[in-house]
Amino acid sequence: DGGITQSPKYLFRKEGQNVTLSCEQNLNHDAMYWYRQDPGQGLRLIYYSQIVNDFQKGDIAEGYSVSREKKESFPLTVTSAQKNPTAFYLCASTNAGRDSYNEQFFGPGTRLTVL
C-alpha cells in the first residue's frame, strides 16, 4: 500500500532534550512538508522540501531542524531551543510542481509531549 508513515504515534520527552520525528513516504512524491497543529490554530508550516538535499523554512522554523537525504524520508528534529514543543506534528507529501498543484497526502501524525 502506498502512503506516508510517521513514527512514533506518541512521544514523551523531558524538557531540554532533542527529539527526532520520523516521516517516510513510498508515493514517489518530490515535495514533503512538516506541520505543527495546536488547538484552534489550524496547521502551521515548519519546513518543506521540494527536492532531495534541499529544504526551506516555513512560518515557524525556529527551534526545529530537518534533513532530506533521501526522496522517501524527511525527519524532523525538535531541538531544546523550541520554547513550547508539545503539539501534534503532521507530515505531508505531494507531487506539486511549478505548473500544477496536487493535493497533499498526510501521515497519521505524532503527538509529542514534553514533560
Partner 1 sequence: AQSVTQLDSHVSVSEGTPVLLRCNYSSSYSPSLFWYVQHPNKGLQLLLKYTSAATLVKGINGFEAEFKKSETSFHLTKPSAHMSDAAEYFCVVSDLSGGSYIPTFGRGTSLIVHP
Which parts of this chain interact with partner 1 (CB under 8 A)? 4, 35, 40-45, 48, 50, 58, 88, 90, 92, 96-98, 100-101, 103-104, 106-109, 111
| Cβ distance to partner 1 smaller for residue 28 or 102 | 102
| Cβ distance to partner 1 smaller for residue 17 or 56 | 56
Cell of 47: 519546513
Tell me how far, at minimum, the Cβ of 70 lies from partner 1, in Å.
Answer: 21
| Cβ distance to partner 1 smaller for residue 9 or 15 | 9
Tell me how far, at minimum, the Cβ of 98 lies from partner 1, in Å.
Answer: 7
Tell me how far, at minimum, the Cβ of 42 lies from partner 1, in Å.
Answer: 4
DSSP collapsed to 3 states, the chain: CCCEEEECCEEEECCCCCEEEEEEECCCCCEEEEEEECCCCCEEEEEEEEECCEEEECCCCCCEEECCCECCECCEEECCCCCCCCEEEEEEEECCCCCCCCCCEECCCEEEEEC
Tell me how far, at minimum, the Cβ of 80 lies from partner 1, in Å.
Answer: 26
| Cβ distance to partner 1 smaller for residue 6 or 82 | 6
Answer whether 115's CB lies under 8 Å from 104's CB: no
